[in-house]
């Protein structure tokens, strides 16, 4: 009798599925980890308490061939307080997803704090179609389901990069009300009224296994009159309470708009904006800004320009938290790592000593520092003042979501 040799991949995948992907779910921790005590933690963080650093839940998405960039981005936005969920779409192969999961597993600090997870199965997504909204809501739902305390949901793609350290970001958000939503929005639709809201798009990624391009139907439809449409940047920072509202949908508005969005091109440029601004409960929590830095071509194309060293000064002085789009391994990323994120040395007090990242890898580091202690650098002070300006501007207005 012949016994066919099975490939090692299914076993490896199953192993990783059981251990890394949606493994033991943990919360934000405060406290000190001692390698001699094994993977045990003490004292949970009372996150959500004003005056205490918050925690972010990051959804990092990418497509086939982008796992290296995703890993680099993950390391650049890593902080033990936060939660991370990685998602790769159907263009990626199982081997690539497995390799990414293995890389995550091999990083000691991710293992210790158990706050990096990956969606095991992939499905088709197109960034211009409604499948992108489905994937974002799926990521948000998984981050909620994983439990643990986090305060804001942040969406990033593999061509994004942070331009402040996590300490800068945590410090900036420490004193902010936890219910604020950072969504760049307007109800001035302009050319989008016809091209986005009167045309009907069909996204095959919602019903086909492989990635494919959405198409536009010949018929058009009337603009909605049951709600006011708001559009803006697809990159958002949403409060946990608003994410729960969208995911659980105990009011009809989020679901009604979701079903409407099933035929709207670029729904990430309208969905959260429109739900927020049409909801009496949440409209006062909007801050009109996405904290991102882009440079647009003239006239603007679908995506912002690729950033390079000629933009470096503007990036650093922008007062934003993230920038896009970067080419893989661009020299500007190395400069951001070295000069802004200070990643060659220990960035963040939670790393115990100078060069602790490497020391900790070798378990020479006795304990991790206090992950509740955040120390902003110069870019953190710029970010703090730009966010304070945005929030103050919104507070002065009597109505945050102005209709034009
Ligand atoms: C996706 O495409 C690949 C190659 O083109 C094919 O082998 C595979 O069966 C397709 N998968 C699905 C779910 O359609
Ligand atoms: C940097 O980007 C700008 C705008 O995209 C472009 O005009 C310029 O040629 C680029 N410079 C380099 C050195 O690649
Ligand atoms: C929102 O702000 C407006 C204007 O200040 C106020 O009238 C309204 O009561 C606020 N809504 C909520 C839910 O706080």
Give the nearest ligand 2 atom to 306 CA.
5
Query: Model pTM?
Result: 0.84
Any ligand 2 atom below 6 A from CB of 325 = no
User: Rounded to an integer, what distance in angstroms lies between the CA atom of residue 326 and that of residue 307?
Assistant: 5
Atom 10 of ligand 1, nearest CA residue: 210
Quote the ligand 1 centre to 385 CA distance (angstroms): 50
Residue 148: the pLDDT is 81
pLDDT at 30: 30
| Cα gap 12→14, rounded to integer Å | 5
Distance CA 40, CA 46 (A): 18
pLDDT in tens, the chain (404 residues): 344 444 445 544 444 444 444 433 332 333 333 333 333 333 344 455 666 899 999 999 999 999 999 999 999 999 999 999 999 999 999 999 999 999 999 988 888 888 999 998 899 999 999 999 999 999 999 999 988 889 999 999 999 999 999 999 999 999 899 999 999 999 888 888 888 999 999 999 999 999 999 999 999 999 999 999 999 999 999 999 999 999 998 999 999 999 999 999 999 999 999 999 999 999 999 999 999 999 999 888 888 999 999 999 999 999 999 999 999 999 999 999 998 987 644 445 566 444 444 544 444 344 566 777 788 888 889 999 999 999 998 888 766 786 54
Task: Please report which ligand is nearest the Cα atom of 315.
Answer: 2
CA dist 304 → 97, 265, 292, 331 (Å): 28, 18, 11, 18
pLDDT at site 345: 41
Q: What's the confidence (pLDDT) of residue 279?
A: 95
* Strand intervals (E) in 244-375: 286-287, 292-293, 322-324
Q: Is 18 a pocket residue for ligand 1 (Cβ < 6 Å)?
A: no
Measure 208 CA to ligand 1 centroid, in angstroms. Answer: 10
- Residue 298 makes CB contacts below 8 A (sequence gap 6+) with none
| Mutation pick for ligand 2 pocket among 294, 307, 310, 323 (CB with most ligand atoms within 8 Å) | 310
| Closest ligand to residue 314's CA | 2
How far, in Å, from the CA of 284 to the mean position of ligand 3?
Answer: 6
């Amino acid at each position: 009798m012949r016994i066919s040799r099975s490939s090692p991949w299914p076993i490896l995948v199953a192993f990783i599925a059981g251990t890394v992907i949606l493994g033991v779910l943990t919360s934000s921790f405060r406290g000190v980890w001692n390698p001699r005590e094994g993977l045990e933690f003490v004292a949970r963080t009372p996150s959500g308490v004003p005056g205490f650093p918050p925690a972010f839940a990051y959804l990092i998405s990418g497509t086939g061939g982008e796992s290296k960039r995703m890993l680099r981005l993950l390391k650049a936005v890593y902080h033990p307080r936060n939660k991370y969920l990685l998602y790769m779409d159907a263009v990626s192969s199982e081997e690539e997803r497995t390799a990414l999961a293995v890389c995550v597993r091999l990083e000691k600090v991710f293992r210790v704090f158990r706050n990096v997870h990956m969606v095991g199965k992939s499905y088709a997504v197109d960034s211009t179609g409604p499948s992108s909204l489905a994937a974002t809501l799926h990521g948000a739902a998984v981050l909620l389901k994983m439990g643990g305390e986090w305060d804001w949901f942040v969406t990033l793609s593999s061509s994004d990069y942070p331009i402040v350290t996590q300490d800068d970001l945590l410090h900036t958000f420490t004193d902010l009300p936890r219910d604020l939503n950072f969504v760049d929005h307007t109800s001035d639709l302009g050319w989008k009224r016809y091209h986005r809201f009167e045309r009907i798009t069909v996204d095959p990624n919602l019903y086909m296994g492989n990635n494919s391009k959405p198409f536009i139907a010949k018929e058009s439809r009337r603009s909605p009159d049951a709600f006011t449409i708001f559009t803006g940047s697809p990159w958002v920072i949403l409060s946990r309470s608003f994410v729960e509202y969208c995911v659980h949908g105990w009011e009809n508005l989020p679901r009604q708009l979701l079903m409407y969005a099933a035929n709207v091109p670029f729904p990430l440029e309208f969905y959260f904006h429109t739900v927020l601004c049409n909801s009496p409960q949440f409209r006062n929590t909007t801050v009109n800004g996405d904290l991102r830095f882009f440079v647009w071509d003239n006239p603007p194309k679908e995506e912002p320009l690729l950033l390079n060293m000629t933009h470096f000064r503007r990036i650093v002085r922008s007062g934003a938290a993230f920038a896009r789009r970067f080419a893989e391994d661009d020299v500007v990323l190395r400069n951001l790592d070295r000069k802004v994120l200070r990643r060659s040395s220990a960035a963040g007090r939670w790393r115990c000593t100078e060069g602790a990242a490497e020391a900790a890898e070798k378990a020479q580091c006795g304990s991790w520092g206090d992950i509740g202690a955040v120390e902003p650098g110069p870019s953190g002070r710029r970010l703090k003042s730009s966010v304070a300006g945005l929030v103050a501007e919104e507070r002065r207005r009597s109505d945050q979501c102005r209709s034009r």
